[in-house]
Amino acid sequence: MGALEVDSEVVSMDIIGGLYRQGLDVLVEKIVAQTDGKTVTSCFQVCTFWEKHLWNGNVWRRIIERLFAENADFRLLCRLNGWRQILPSQGGSEVTEEEYKQIVYKFTEYEGIWSKRNLSSSKLFTGGLFSCLKLHQQWLFAGMLDGLIKMWDVSRDFVKKPLKIFEGHEEKVSSLDAAGDVLVSGSLDQSVRVWNIESSSLLRVLRGSGCPILLVKLLPDRLAWWSVSGMFQVWSWNGPENIEPKLRFNIDEDPMTCNITVGEHYVAVAGNDVYSNTDREVVIYNSHTGHRMLEKDIFASAQIQCMDMQSHLLFLGAGCSVEIWDIEKSLCVAVLGSNFKPSLNQTIRNICVSDFQVVAMLSSGNILHWPLHNLVKKNNDNPKIPLHYNLETFAGVIENKEPPWKNLVLSDSRIVFGLEMKFGDVKIFNWSKTVKRNTDVEEERVAGRRRRVPSFTYQFNCRPECPQCPNVQVMEIDLK
State the pLDDT at residue 4. Answer: 43
Q: How far apart are CA 187 and CA 206, in angstroms?
A: 11
Q: How far apart (Å, rounded) are the C-alpha atoms in residues 23 and 19? A: 6
Three-state DSSP class for residue 461: coil
Full-model pTM: 0.86
Nearest to 438 by CA among 33, 52, 21, 155: 52
pLDDT tens track, the chain, 480 positions = 554 444 555 555 677 778 878 878 888 888 888 899 999 999 898 888 888 888 888 999 999 999 999 999 999 999 999 999 999 999 999 999 999 999 999 999 999 999 999 999 999 999 999 999 999 999 999 999 999 999 999 988 777 789 999 999 999 999 999 999 999 999 999 999 999 999 999 999 998 778 999 999 999 999 999 999 999 999 999 999 899 999 999 998 889 889 999 999 999 999 876 555 567 999 999 999 999 999 999 999 999 999 999 999 999 999 999 999 999 999 999 999 887 766 567 899 999 999 999 999 999 899 999 999 999 998 888 888 999 998 877 889 999 989 898 789 999 999 999 998 888 899 999 998 644 343 333 333 333 433 333 333 333 333 444 444 444 444 443 443
3-state secondary structure of 191: coil
79 phi/psi in degrees, rounded to 5: -65, -35
Q: Which of 375, 377, 419, 424 is nearest to 400 (CA)?
A: 419
DSSP string, 128-189: S-EEEEEEETTEEEEEETTS-EEEEETTSSS--S-SEEE---SS-EEEEEEETTEEEEEETT
Residue 409, helix vs strand vs coil: strand
Distance (Å, whole) CA 353 – CA 333: 15
3-state helix, strand, coil split of the chain in percent (to 5) is 20, 40, 40
Whether residue 358 contacts residue 322, with contact meaning beta carbons closer than 8 Å, is answered with yes
Q: Please give the C-alpha separations between residue 47 and each of 51, 168, 308, in angstroms, as whole numbers.
A: 6, 53, 44
Cβ-contact 222, 236 below 8 angstroms = yes
Whole-angstrom CA distances from 4 to 50, 370, 459, 466 are: 21, 43, 16, 21
Burial of 309-328, coded b for 16+ CB within 10 Å and e otherwise, reads bbbbbbbbbbbbbbbbbbbe
Report the distance separating Cα 36 and Cα 68, nearest Å.
Answer: 15
